[in-house]
Structure 1
Amino acid sequence: MTSTITDSPKSTVRRTTLRFPGSPSKSMKRQGSTLSLASPTKLNVVKPDWDHEKIYQTLKRQGSSSASLQTTTDRFIPSRYTTSNSRVSTEQHLPPSNASPSEHIKAQSQIIYKRSVADACGIEVGQRILQYQPPPPVSKSLVQMNQSSNFSTASAGKGSMGLTIEPLRSRKISSNPERVLDAPGLVDDFYLNLLSWSCENQLAIALESSCYVWNANTGSVQVLSDCDHLISSVRWSEDGSYLSIGKEDGTLEIWDVESSTRLRTMKTHTGVRIGSQAWSSHLVSAGSKSGEIIINDVRVKNHITNTLHAHMGEVCGLEYRADGQQFASGSNDNTVCIWDSRSSVAQFTKTAHTAAVKALAWNPEINSLLATGGGSSDRHIHFWNTTTGARVNSIDTGSQISSLFWGSSNSFGREIVSTGGYPNNSISVYSFDHRIKVAEIENAHDSRIISAQLSPDGSTIATVGGDENLKFYKVFNQNKKREQSSAIAQGKQMSKIMTIR
């Protein structure tokens, strides 16, 4: 607004001209927007200066109420055609699932605030504040919360009208590793599974053509074998007594770790590397680079009992369900197959992923719940009902996924942790029920995380990356069922820094 003061030689009256900034003088005079204060009778705001119908027609022609309001309407007198409908906005712009925990906390705090204000006013969120209605409703004693919201409420006391709202809180996990082991010579290949942790608290790792076993109870390191070919996968049996070693030439070796004895060598007809393995009782399944899954019975001479053909690319993930009735396979052809252990034909073949599927995890409490994670071009975790084959949920992690493990916490219940590579080599914890990230360790390694394993007590995750470091992070609460049998629970018998060589 500009103010101009003029003195007339014939009159002592001072005249003030008011103009809006950015508006031409001629246009202002033509629309009656120049106000003269010399005579009060000339200021007619009812007809010339506020023509309601004229303003409405102008706004309608221009199609943009906000732009027109700045040039044609009085800024001190609002127009009901350009104001809101007097409703509290119900839109909840939640951040994506891969956003940081602080962003989720901020979004949920806004929801809590909005609902608490609405409850204090005795209305619902989205209800009009000013309206013709019967007597106002009685204020509710409790806030009506949606179960999908990530917060909880509780009354302040019996008979009290006060509210105690507990907002969403992020999970606190240490970004500093509890243990660091040096692993020189680790093959930096995303499709290989070079790490395995037994139920007896022994960790096996393959470094080039050698296999090492680190005892977490005593801290001792044992060189188990020096093979003539590059080791492409290792896996413990279910009871922790035997270790199977898959090699680049397609052979599979079974070792008795206690006596450091190789029990047998099983050859496959594929002649290509075995990148993934899974045990179920006396059966060990081997996934080959050619896409075949070879089922071996370690008790008999003719060990190959079945060969499954479903994948067109390398099988880089294999996992049996806890009861052994089903198993899942992931491949470089971007597919996931769910198998009945008694059949040679896949029950379901899933193509939802757009990158290689290496990470597979069966829920320990719900047998029919399977989690699968895709590579750098996919970056999604999909959850499947293996009874019906339906996808029940998905989480966009924004990162390459190399492994998945289930866990739980007191704050969020069922959780799943994922280790990844690009872009930030992080370890992320997600709430399964809320589908949000609740904790994260960024830059856990200097290079991408190739493999990871969960400790027997379910609390510590071991990760190995292309930076040739093996690190241990505590991410979950301790599994009480294995608390007494696990030496990791004591946390005193593991040395801080060791070298596996």
Structure 2
Amino acid sequence: MLGDFVGRRRHCPFKGQYEVDTETYKRFRRRIIQRSHGEGPCASTPVAPRWRCEPRFKLDSVCQRLELDSPPRHHEPEQRVLQGAHQEAVSVGRTSHGEAVLPPNTPRAVTVRRHPVAENVTEQGLVWRAGDQEHENAQCAGCDERGLDLKPFAVLHKSSGPGGSATKLLAPSLLNDYYTNLLDCSCNGMIALALGSSVYLWNSETRALVGHLEPGPQPGRPSCQTRSISCLCWSRDGRALCIGTRRGEIQLWDVEHKQNMRRLPSHMSVVGALSWKQQLLSSGSVLGHIHHLDPRAPAALVGSAVQEEGICSLQWSPGGERLASGSTGGLLHIWDSHVAGVTKSRQPITTAKQTSAVKAMGWCPWQGDVIATGGGWKDGELRIWDTQSGSCVTSVNTNSQICSLRWADRRRHLITGHGLPHHQVTCWQFPSLSPIYQLTGHSQRVLHLATNPDNTQLFSAGADQCFHVWDL
């Protein structure tokens, strides 16, 4: 075709010279364009057309590495919104698919604003705010258009059922991430719940909001940079609250005196789980590193261990003889109580395998060698393990994703929180694993569970951004 284009000439009688046939050139150009649209770039085109190029971004090397350490990335857009959700416009309804509906004339673009730094910012980067202080822009999920108080733990509904009475409260900005551990109850009945980038403290006896912790500027970082909370855990005596972040930092907070005691830069990646053994704190990261920390020592790190897969659950046995770590790849590792020394050569004494991540996990309070695990949506199996032999003693298929697991030791029951299809809380008889009753009320998966010390109350937090109190 190009030869025809070059060869075909016609004589111009006015200028006395040959000119290019413009009609042939237009036809040649039109064919090239049609072929590029219908069949992709032509062979003669050295680069892809502009509209087929993928955007590329140049990220800071440190931030890029830390982001790659995170669990599955499909939550990233949601996480960025939830971290500043208490600054967003208030949601006043939900669609049939659970999607929040903004009020009329509300712009779709969300502008995240930070609170000005208060006077009580400590060097460790946490701010204490009293419970009666107004949380002016709290987000609402699942509430109606009435003029309700949209603060966290505001009561939405009360009901009664076969398992007992239930109270539904608000939990705005609760992160919908399967691999987080954002709820815990102390031995004194104090609830700690992470909502967005803040931790709220709620007294389960008086049912009053005591206060909340907000992240302040971190030393050496810009004041506008926030840190999302990935896990938290109360100490055994209920006096200290430990908070792990996605940047590998561990915050140790004295709740009684409202002071941040220490900031422990423990990991270089996301802190996936925390567990206490008397005064010893153990933490696990998504890179598979287990660090044993003594907050009383100047050099807090006293021991470590490494496993190949990322850690999404970590728990010491009630007597402190064994440490269990669950991985994202479905491995359950049992470690001995020896924690001294920083070494990579330590090996678990027992390893068990299931077909999905070992996120829901808990030691039996009255049988020290027994531990229960729950499988994800690809598995759905509730298993009881003998850690001495590494064998599965009994199991039951729940036909549902198991997101959380707790033992009720005084009732000798096992409680699980589920995802699809029913988003229920199930109570099981031990050791037969026969279901006793189910608690329904969440519209999305039940991510976190906790019980009060005397097992008369059960607490659940779901992806529907609601917090339930079940009076058993």
Q: TM-score, normalised by structure 2?
A: 0.60
AA of the residue aligned to 1:436 = S
Shift of 1:246: 0.5
Aligned counterpart in structure 2 of residue 463 of structure 1, from 460, 463, 472: 460
Counterpart amino acid of residue 327 in structure 2: S
Q: What amino acid maps onto 1:431 in structure 2?
A: Q
Quote the Cα distance in structure 2 between the aligned partners of 1:278 and 1:445. 28
Q: Distance in 2 between matches of 1:204 and 1:435?
A: 29
CA distance in 2, matches of 1:440, 1:265: 41
For 1:245-284, what aligned pairs fall within 5 Å after superposition? 245-268=243-266, 270-284=267-281
Q: Provide the C-alpha distance between the structure 1 equivalents of 2:185 and 2:200, rounded to a whole number of angstroms.
A: 12
Aligned residue among 428, 434, 437 for 2:435 = 437
Deviations 1:200-236 (A, max 9, x none): 1100011111111011233332333211311111110
Does the alignment pair 1:222 with 2:210? Answer: yes
How much is the aligned-residue C-alpha RMSD, in angstroms? 1.9
Aligned equivalents of 1:173, 1:456: Cα separation in 2: 22
Alpha-carbon displacement from aligned partner over 1:263-316 (angstroms, at most 9, x marks no partner): 000002x32221211111111111212121111111112111222112412x11
For CA contacts below 8 A with separation 6 or more, give which structure has more relative contact order.
Answer: 1
Give the letter for the 2:321 counterpart: Q
Q: Which amino acid aligns with 1:461?
A: L
Q: Deviations over 1:55-76 (max 9, x none)?
A: xxxxxxxxxxxxxxxxxxxxxx
Residue 408 (structure 1) shift? 6.6
The separation in 2 between residues aligned to 1:433 and 1:383, in whole angstroms, is 8
What 5-or-longer segments of structure 1 have no aligned partner? 1-171, 476-501
Tell me if the contact between 1:374 and 1:401 (Cα under 8 Å) persists in the aligned partners.
yes
Which amino acid in the other structure matches residue 464 of structure 1? A
TM-aligned CA deviation for residue 176 of structure 1: 6.8
Matched, 1:240 2:242: no
Contact 2:383 2:395 in 1 (8 A): yes
Q: Does 1:305 align with 2:305?
A: no
Distance (Å, rounded) in 1 between the aligned partners of 2:357 and 2:264: 27
Q: For 2:238 and 2:251, how far apart are their aligned partners in 1? A: 15
Q: Distance in 2 between matches of 1:324 and 1:288?
A: 21
Residue 197 of structure 1 aligns with an amino acid whose one-letter code is C
Query: Percent of aligned pairs with the same residue?
Result: 31
Retained in 1: the 8 A contact 2:163–2:437?
A: no
Judged with a 3 Å threshold, the aligned counterparts in structure 2 of structure 1 residues 342 and 447 are, in CA distance, closer, same or farther, namely same
C-alpha separation in 2, matches of 1:341 and 1:418: 28
Residues 1:213 and 2:213 are matched in the alignment: no
CA distance in 2, matches of 1:434, 1:324: 26
1:347 corresponds to:
349
What residue number does 1:357 align with?
358
Post-superposition offset of 1:327 = 1.5
Within a 5 Å distance, the mapping from 1:134-145 to structure 2 comes to none
Indicate yes or no: 2:168 matched with 1:180: yes
Give deviations 1:137-194, integer Å, cap 9, x for gaps.
xxxxxxxxxxxxxxxxxxxxxxxxxxxxxxxxxxx96367522221111111010000
The residue number in structure 2 matching 1:194 is 182
CA distance in structure 2 between the partners assigned to 1:408 and 1:294 by the alignment: 29
In 1, are the aligned partners of 2:286 and 2:309 still within 8 Å (CA)?
A: no
Displacement after TM superposition at 1:414 (Å): 3.7
Distance 1:454 1:350 in 2: 27
The amino acid across from 2:301 in the alignment is I
Residues 484-499 of structure 1 mapped to structure 2, 5 A cutoff: none
325-334 vs 399-408, greater mean Cα deviation: 399-408
With over 3 angstroms needed to count, the CA separation of the structure-2 counterparts of 1:180 and 1:469, relative to structure 1, is same
What is aligned with 1:396? 397
Alpha carbons of 1:459 and 1:390: their partners in 2 closer, same or farther (altered >3 Å)? Answer: same
SS at match of 1:357: coil
- Alignment counterpart, residue 451 of structure 2, candidates 450, 454, 457: 454
Q: Deviations over 1:59-115 (max 9, x none)?
A: xxxxxxxxxxxxxxxxxxxxxxxxxxxxxxxxxxxxxxxxxxxxxxxxxxxxxxxxx
Structure 1-normalised TM-score?
Answer: 0.57
How far the C-alpha of 1:436 sits from its partner, in A, is 2.0
- Give the distance between the partners of 1:299 and 1:180, measured in 2 at CA: 40
Change (3 A) 1:175 1:217: closer
Q: What aligned pairs does 1:65-76 form with structure 2 within 5 A after superposition?
A: none
* Residue matched to 2:470: 473
**Are the equivalent residues in 1 in contact too, given 2:409–2:455 (CA < 8 A)?**
no
Amino acid at match of 2:180: L
Report the alpha carbon displacement of residue 466 of structure 1 after superposing the two structures with TM.
0.9
Amino acid at match of 2:272: G
Contact kept? 2:247, 2:270, Cα under 8 Å: yes
Q: Which amino acid aligns with 2:326?
A: G
Return the alpha-carbon distance in structure 2 between the equivalents of residues 258 and 460 of structure 1: 23
What CA distance in whole angstroms lies between the structure 1 residues aligned with 2:228 and 2:329? 24
Letter in 2 for 1:392: V
User: Please, which of 310, 322, 347 is the counterpart of residue 326 of structure 1?
Assistant: 322
Q: Distance in 2 between matches of 1:217 and 1:433?
A: 31
